[in-house]
């Protein structure tokens, strides 16, 4: 029997609907991701006018806080996966109950970390090589900044809940509003207004904490209102908190492997001979290239965030064929986005370096590195999307093992690279290709496609 022409046309509206959903989730996520470093830069401008030691102190304390928050990103990723599954299964109340447990885990981690930061602050800043002039202010800054640990982790967990509920707009509004408040508070508390003289460097730390508290209150308030409407208790369930913690361990391992690869790359750059991209010029070129790579990653990461939410919901609904179709379409989005960012980077590579430096040695080293990074963008698109798909499926154990495997493959390539360009080829092509390989291998099978509210095995 021949098919009716309308039947043949049916997939096109469905694809348009899928594209619209990906865009609806990815666009606000992208804006939120881009907004964050812009506001961090504003903080640096405020503190930088106090002097070089103050800026260095804020940088050291900020690096420690960023590392902590980066390791706890599982609060957002894991919560997105579990909440989205329950949404897909039609259990909104269960989704919000799981989200409340994620908030409880954030508090359970944040409070002890804050308590530990007070006595350990001097030791931690000296571990990063702070001079005597910088160590004292950095430790004081860190002690105040650590008060914001629990609000920061609550922001991660609440963002994960809202993404799981297929809402990326509210986190965007909260991020922009919170960071604008942060800038205003920093200016007032650092420099003062009217009869208030200002607190200097410590005013910056205090302003950030107050903005984090306000942002966390906004996000948690949205989740709490949803929970009340669904008749869900606002008190976390202890077994649920423990389960969320166990589910987060593999994602912590995954994150550690990624950070280890970045640190290994910096070490390898520093070890290169000066005439092959080492010493100060090589480190400067690498820093610029990594900043550009990180910025382009925001576009790809936004699609990955959409993939987390969409994949978890589809698996919760129990439709494997839909999950496969969605994964294929999101992969196409990732490749196209990678091609666009790659072509764009290649086009501006000859001119981009002069935005950062006029040093001819740095510029000579930077151009081929940027071209390598441009070439790797489509591969990065595949990696980011599949990472998001498998996180959305709750496939943390595989991601942890895959992260360790790719790190083992990458380490000798990085350490044996004879120049900065070859090192970036090892990172942007070798490391990312290895990640793409293990993720594609997993995605081809069905073990990760565990339907219902149970996470992947």
Separation between Cα atoms, residue 360 and residue 365, nearest integer Å: 9
Quote the percentage of the chain above a pLDDT of 90: 51
CA distances from 29 to 35, 164, 305, 382 (A): 10, 13, 7, 18
| Ramachandran quadrant class, 51 (left: phi over 0; alpha: psi -120 to 50; beta: rest) | left
Quote the percentage of the chain above a pLDDT of 70: 93
| pLDDT tens, residue by residue, 28-73 | 988 888 777 666 667 777 887 788 788 888 888 888 888 888 888 8
Separation between Cα atoms, residue 124 and residue 81, nearest integer Å: 33
Q: Is the pLDDT of residue 10 over 50?
A: no
Cα torsion 250, 251, 253, 257 to 10°: value is 140
Name residue, tokens 């619209």.
20
| pLDDT tens, residue by residue, 383-408 | 999 999 999 999 999 999 999 999 99
Separation between Cα atoms, residue 392 and residue 390, nearest integer Å: 5
Q: What is the pLDDT of residue 266?
A: 84
Separation between Cα atoms, residue 256 and residue 67, nearest integer Å: 10
The SS3 of residue 72 is: coil
Q: What pTM was computed for the model?
A: 0.85
Q: Which of 95, 55, 34 is nearest to 453 (CA)?
A: 95
Q: How confident is the model at residue 2 (pLDDT cuts 50, 70, 90)?
A: very low
Q: For residue 372, how many C-alpha atoms fall within 13 Å in the half-sphere facing its CB?
A: 22
CB of 211 closer than 8 Å to CB of 178: yes
| pLDDT tens, residue by residue, 62-119 | 888 888 888 888 888 889 999 999 999 899 999 999 999 999 999 999 999 999 988 9
Q: What is the pLDDT of residue 276?
A: 54
Name residue, tokens 């606000």.
28
Q: How confident is the model at residue 344 (pLDDT cuts 50, 70, 90)?
A: very high
Cα torsion 150, 393, 165, 235 to 10°: value is -40
């Amino acid at each position: 029997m021949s098919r009716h022409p309308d039947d043949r046309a049916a997939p096109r509206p469905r694809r348009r609907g899928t594209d619209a959903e990906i865009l609806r989730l990815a666009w606000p996520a992208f804006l939120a991701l881009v907004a964050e470093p812009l506001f961090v830069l504003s903080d640096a401008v405020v503190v930088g006018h106090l002097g070089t030691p103050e800026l260095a102190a804020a940088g050291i304390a900020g690096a420690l806080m960023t590392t902590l928050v980066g390791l706890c990103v599982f609060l957002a990723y894991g919560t997105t996966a579990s909440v989205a599954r329950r949404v897909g299964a039609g259990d909104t109340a269960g989704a919000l109950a799981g989200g409340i447990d994620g908030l409880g885990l954030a508090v359970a981690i944040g409070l002890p970390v804050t308590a530990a930061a007070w006595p350990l602050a001097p030791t931690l800043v000296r571990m990063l090589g702070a001079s005597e002039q910088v160590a004292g202010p950095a430790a004081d800054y860190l002690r105040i900044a650590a008060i914001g640990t629990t609000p920061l982790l609550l922001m991660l967990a609440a963002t994960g809940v809202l993404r799981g509920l297929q809402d990326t707009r509210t986190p965007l509004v909260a991020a922009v509003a919170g960071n604008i408040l942060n800038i205003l508070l920093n200016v007032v508390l650092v420099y003062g207004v009217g009869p208030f003289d200002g607190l200097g460097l410590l005013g910056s730390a205090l302003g950030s904490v107050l903005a984090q508290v306000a942002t966390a209150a906004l996000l948690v308030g949205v989740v709490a209102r949803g929970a009340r409407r669904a008749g869900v208790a606002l008190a976390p369930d202890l077994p649920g908190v423990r389960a969320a913690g166990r589910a987060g361990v593999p994602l912590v391992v995954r994150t550690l492997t990624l950070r280890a690869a970045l640190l290994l790359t910096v070490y390898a750059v520093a070890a290169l001979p000066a005439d092959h991209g080492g010493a100060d010029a090589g480190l400067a070129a690498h820093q610029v290239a990594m900043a550009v790579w990180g910025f382009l990653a925001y576009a790809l990461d936004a699609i990955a965030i959409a993939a987390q939410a969409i994949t978890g919901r589809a698996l919760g609904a129990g439709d494997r064929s839909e999950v496969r179709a969605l994964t294929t379409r999101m992969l196409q989005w990732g490749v196209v986005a990678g091609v666009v960012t790659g072509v764009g980077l290649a086009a501006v590579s000859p001119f981009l370096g002069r935005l950062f430096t006029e040093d001819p040695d740095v510029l000579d080293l930077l151009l081929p590195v940027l071209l390598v990074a441009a070439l790797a963008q489509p591969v990065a698109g595949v990696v980011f999307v599949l990472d998001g798909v498998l996180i959305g499926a709750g496939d943390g154990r595989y991601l942890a093992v895959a992260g360790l495997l790719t790190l083992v493959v990458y380490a000798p390539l990085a350490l044996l690279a004879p120049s900065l360009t070859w090192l970036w080829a090892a990172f942007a092509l070798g490391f990312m290709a290895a990640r793409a390989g293990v993720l594609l291998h997993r995605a081809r099978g069905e073990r990760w496609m565990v339907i219902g509210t149970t996470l992947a095995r």
